[in-house]
């Protein structure tokens, strides 16, 4: 429903005021998580719905799908309700996530690294999903660390089925053909450069599109570019090829808990 249109009657089985309160509480909680007030435009970027639609819902406008969802969920036990919601939600990579937060020293160093206004950071090591998790954790944590909105751009070859995406990054849906990845990257690259974002994230691009490597290192002079890929670089491999500051971040499963991510950071 558009702003200004009359409110439609709510379901007689679920009170509309409860939906309005839930949405307003959710907006406040999202703002607290980002350590800044969440605008309706910002919420629209997260939710993929028009800002005026979300604002209308928060003002008591009809939200029939939410009525159906909540009227159904409340008939379940609390345990079953939470289990269904947790199963439906994707993983949200941030530096506060337990997979990273188990190592406070590493998270502190990653936060310091993330605040760099420019430079080149390589995330390497295995397995691939840990590189991807850390890359997206950096993107999702940037604004909270700076206490203001940090513009992010980039390209990631993966699908959005397992984790919450970083706003501003283009995801290529698990493309496997190198030629198609190269074609899509070359199509998106001018927009990535033109965005002049402080943080640029590139996942599985460095090896697959080698023709962009010189442009990536050039962009690192004005933006902080983070490259995640299946690499085995050593500091000596980069000293004459890339601008400063440059860092190598290597991930591996933690000994204490294989699902946790062990992070090693080296300055070049």
Residue-range domains of the chain with CATH: 16-88 (no CATH), 98-267 (3.40.50.300)
Q: At what angle do helices 64-73 and 78-88 cross, to 10 degrees?
A: 130
Q: Report pTM.
A: 0.87
Q: What Rg do the C-alpha atoms of the chain give, in angstroms?
A: 21
HEC profile of the chain: CCCCCCCCCCCCCCCHHHHHHHHHHHHHHHHHHCCCCCCHHHHHHHHCCCHHHHHHHHCCCCCHHHHHHHHHHCCCCHHHHHHHHHHHCCECCCCCCHHHHCCHHHHHHHHHHHCCCCEEEEEEECCHHHHHHHHHHHHHHHHHHHCCCCCEEEEECCCCCCECCCCCEEECCCCCCHHHHHHHHHHHHHHHHHCCCCEEEEECCCCCCHHHHHHHHHHCCCCEEEEECCCCCCHHHCCCCCCCCEEEEEEEECCCCCCCEEEEEEEC
Cα separation, 268 vs 265, whole angstroms: 10
pLDDT at residue 11 in the model: 52
pLDDT at residue 182 in the model: 94
pLDDT at residue 180 in the model: 94
Cα distances from 265 to residues 58, 111, 147, 148, 226, in angstroms, run 44, 12, 24, 26, 13
Beta-strand relationship, 246-253 and 261-267: antiparallel
pLDDT at residue 15 in the model: 87
Q: Can you give the pLDDT of all 268 residues of the chain as single tens digits?
A: 444 444 545 556 788 899 999 999 999 999 888 767 889 999 999 898 999 999 999 998 888 889 899 999 999 999 999 999 999 999 999 999 999 999 999 999 999 999 999 999 999 999 999 999 999 999 999 988 775 778 899 999 999 889 999 999 999 999 888 899 999 999 999 999 999 999 999 999 999 999 999 999 999 999 999 999 999 988 777 766 666 789 999 999 999 999 999 999 999 8
pLDDT at residue 240 in the model: 63
pLDDT at residue 3 in the model: 46
């Amino acid at each position: 429903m558009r702003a200004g249109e009359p409110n439609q009657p709510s379901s007689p089985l679920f009170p509309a005021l409860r939906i309005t309160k839930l949405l307003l509480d959710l907006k406040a909680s999202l703002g607290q998580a980002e350590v800044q007030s969440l605008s309706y435009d910002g919420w629209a970027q997260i939710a993929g719905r028009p800002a005026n639609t979300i604002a209308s819902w928060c003002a008591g406008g009809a939200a029939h799908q939410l009525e159906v969802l909540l009227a159904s969920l409340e008939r379940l036990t609390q345990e079953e309700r939470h289990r269904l919601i947790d199963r439906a939600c994707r993983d949200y990579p941030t530096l506060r996530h337990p997979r990273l937060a188990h190592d406070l020293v590493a998270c502190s160093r990653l936060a310091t690294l993330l605040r760099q206004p420019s430079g080149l950071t390589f995330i390497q090591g295995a397995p691939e999903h840990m590189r991807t998790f850390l890359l997206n954790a950096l993107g999702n944590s940037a604004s909270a660390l700076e206490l203001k909105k940090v513009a992010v751009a980039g390209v990631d070859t993966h699908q959005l089925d397992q984790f919450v995406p970083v706003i501003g990054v283009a995801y290529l849906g698990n493309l496997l053909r190198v030629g198609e990845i190269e074609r899509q990257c070359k199509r998106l690259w001018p927009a990535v450069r033109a965005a002049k974002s402080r943080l640029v994230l590139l996942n599985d691009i460095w090896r697959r599109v080698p023709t962009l490597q010189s442009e990536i290192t050039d962009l690192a002079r004005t933006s902080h570019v983070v490259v995640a890929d299946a690499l085995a670089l050593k500091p000596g491999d980069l000293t004459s090829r890339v601008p400063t500051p440059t860092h190598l971040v290597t991930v591996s499963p933690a000994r204490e808990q294989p699902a946790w991510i062990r992070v090693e950071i080296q300055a070049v």
